[in-house]
Each structure stands twice: as C-alpha cells, then as structure tokens.
Amino acid sequence: MGQEQLDRHSKLVRDRVPEIIRAAAIKPITYIAGPEEYRSRLRDKLGEEVAEFLSADDAAAVEELADVLEVVYALAEDLGVDSAELEEVRRSKARERGGFTNRVIWSGNH
C-alpha cells in the first residue's frame, strides 16, 4: 500500500487500539504523528465523534458523548490547557452567559 493510500485510510485512534489489534493476532500499521498532524487529526476526530453522537440512539449516546469529551480533553491539552482549566473556563462562561438548561431558543430581533 502506497503512502497516499495509507493517508486516505489512516485516522487517529485511541492509544491502546494497536495493542487491542495485536491481541487479535493482527499486525497494525501505525506511526506517531508530529505536532501539526496531531492537531489536525484531533480536529478531524472531533468531527467524526460528533457525527457518531448525532446519529446515535439514546442507548449509545452516552458512550459517543464520552468519546467527544475524550477528544475535547486531548484538544485542550494540545493547546496547553488541562481538563481542570477547561472546566474553569466553562464555568466562567456559564456564570457570565448562562448554560443551556433553560432550553432558550433565540429567533432574532424585533
């Protein structure tokens, strides 16, 4: 398989996935992404996980949402922010602008 084919079929996976594949007696082809590729692949992964969440039924939604959160934490870490700092930013925005619990829908201005 050429590099172009590998790039088209490759994606960022969780750290233990190669180990899990090897346990099934299969040899995975992997490499470690550099910083720029990692950031790009994380953004791609976020889109992938959000799409999976959006198409999940209620039974699978929590697992898919956990996958989204894992990618969000990795993105934050890549930006130099740990999960506690990210949570503090979230809390601060919620104090300032509110959350989404009241289900408010904005339809424009008069």
Instruction: Render pLDDT for 10-59 as a digit per residue (tens, 0 to 9).
Output: 999 999 999 999 999 999 999 999 999 999 999 999 999 999 999 999 99
Q: Tally the domains of the chain.
A: 2
Residue type for position 109: N
Q: What is the mean pLDDT of the chain?
A: 94
Please check whether residues 24 and 59 belong to one and the same domain: no
pTM of the model: 0.85
Provide the residue range defining the domain that includes 19.
1-31
Does residue 83 sit within a domain? Answer: yes
Q: What share of the chain is helix, strand, coil (3-state, %, to 5)?
A: 65, 0, 35
Please check whether residues 42 and 94 belong to one and the same domain: yes
Please check whether residues 39 and 5 belong to one and the same domain: no
- CA dist 32 and 22 (Å) reads 17
Please check whether residues 7 and 57 belong to one and the same domain: no
Please check whether residues 50 and 64 belong to one and the same domain: yes
